[in-house]
Amino acid sequence: MSDETQQSTVGKTDLESAIDAAAEAVAIQAAEIGEIDGALGADGHPIGMDALLEVPVRVTVRVGRASLSLGELVKLGPGSLVPLDREAHEPADVLVNGKVIAQGEIVTIDNTYGVRITSVAKDS
């Protein structure tokens, strides 16, 4: 096995390990929540984790930011380029309701974009 192939395999193993660890941490946190103390549903029964899992949240993936003046903004048109504050190899932020909860790499899935989670924020 070449050094390049071996390094690639090690990198994938580390990435897969990080993803597995993040998924396990989320599963443990979800299991620890259980029922919400004192919260009752419309039927008078306690609201459990299962009810919360059905609540829709907005997930946003941020690949970078740019600051433009109003003058620069009105000059934008087809073919315009807006440089972002990140390099191409840097991970994208995954936000839930405006809060960064993870980082990942942009991937293509069939003909659409997706994000592969590479790390989960410790304080999320």
Query: Cα 75 to the chain's mean position, in Å?
Result: 32
Pairing of strands 59-62, 99-109: unpaired
Interatomic CA distance for residues 86 and 24, integer angstroms: 29
pLDDT at 53: 79
pLDDT at 122: 82
Entry pTM: 0.57
pLDDT at 40: 64
- In this structure, are 2 and 46 located in the same domain? yes
Query: How many domains, the chain?
Result: 2
In Å, the largest CA–CA distance within the chain is: 64
- In this structure, are 48 and 63 located in the same domain? no
| Other beta carbons less than 10 A from residue 18's beta carbon | 14
pLDDT at 41: 66
- In this structure, are 69 and 85 located in the same domain? yes
Query: For residue 119, what are the β-bridge partners?
Result: 103
Q: What is the pLDDT along the chain (124 residues), one digit of tens a residue?
A: 444 444 444 455 676 776 777 777 666 655 555 555 566 666 766 666 676 778 888 899 999 999 999 999 999 999 999 999 999 889 999 999 889 999 999 999 999 999 999 999 887 5
Helical H segments across 62-116, by residue range: 70-74
- In this structure, are 42 and 64 located in the same domain? no
- In this structure, are 62 and 47 located in the same domain? no
- In this structure, are 66 and 121 located in the same domain? yes
pLDDT at 119: 93
Query: Cα 104 to the chain's mean position, in Å?
Result: 6
- In this structure, are 23 and 39 located in the same domain? yes
Within 18-84, strands assigned E span 59-62
The residue segments making up the domain with residue 117 are 57-124
- In this structure, are 30 and 7 located in the same domain? yes
